Structure 1
Amino acid sequence: MMMIMSEKSASPPHVLLISAGASHTVALLTGNVVCSWGRGEDGQLGHGDTDDRLLPTKLSAFDGQDIVSVTCGADYTVARSKSGKDVYSWGWGDFGRLGHGDPSDLFIPHPIRALQGLRIKQISCGDCHCLAVTMENKVLSWGRNQNGELGLGTTKDSHVPQKILAFEGIRIKMVAAGAEHSVAITEDGDLYGWGWGRYGNLGLGDTNDRLIPEKVNIDGDKIVMVSCGWRHTISISSSGGLYTHGWSKYGQLGHGDFEDCLVPRKVQALSDKLISQVSGGWRHSMALTSNGQLFGWGWNKFGQIGIGHNFDCSSPMLVNFPHAQKVVQMSSGWRHTVAVTDRANVYSWGRGANGQLGHGDTKDRNVPTIIDAFSVDGCSEQHIESSNYPLPGKSFASLSERYAVVPNETALGSYATTSSDKSDKFDASVPENDVSLDSPTINQFETMM
Structure 2
Amino acid sequence: MPIEIKMPALSPTMEEGKLAKWLVKEGDTVASGDIMAEIETDKATMEFEAVDEGTIGKITVPEGTEGVKVGTVIALLVGEDEDASAVASAPVPAEAPKAETAEAEAPKAEPKTPESAPAPAAPAAPQTISSKEGRVIASPLAKRLAAAKGVDLDSLTGSGPNGRIVKADVEAAQPGTAKPKAAAPANDTAPAPAAAARPATVEMAAETRALLDDRIPHSVEKLSGMRKTIARRLTQSMQEAPHIYLTVDIRLDKLMAMRAELNAALEKQGVKVSVNDMLVKALGKALIDVPECNVSFAGAELIKYERADVSVAVSIPGGLITPIVQDANGKSFSEIAKATKDLGKRAKEGKLQPAEYQGGTASISNMGMMGIKHFTAVINPPQATIIAIGAGEKRPWVMPDGSLGVATVMTATGSFDHRAVDGADGARLMAAFREYVENPLGMVA
| Same fold, judged at TM 0.5 (above) | no
User: Normalized against structure 2, the TM-score is what?
Assistant: 0.22
More strand by share: 1
Structure with max Cα Rg: 2
User: Normalized against structure 1, the TM-score is what?
Assistant: 0.21
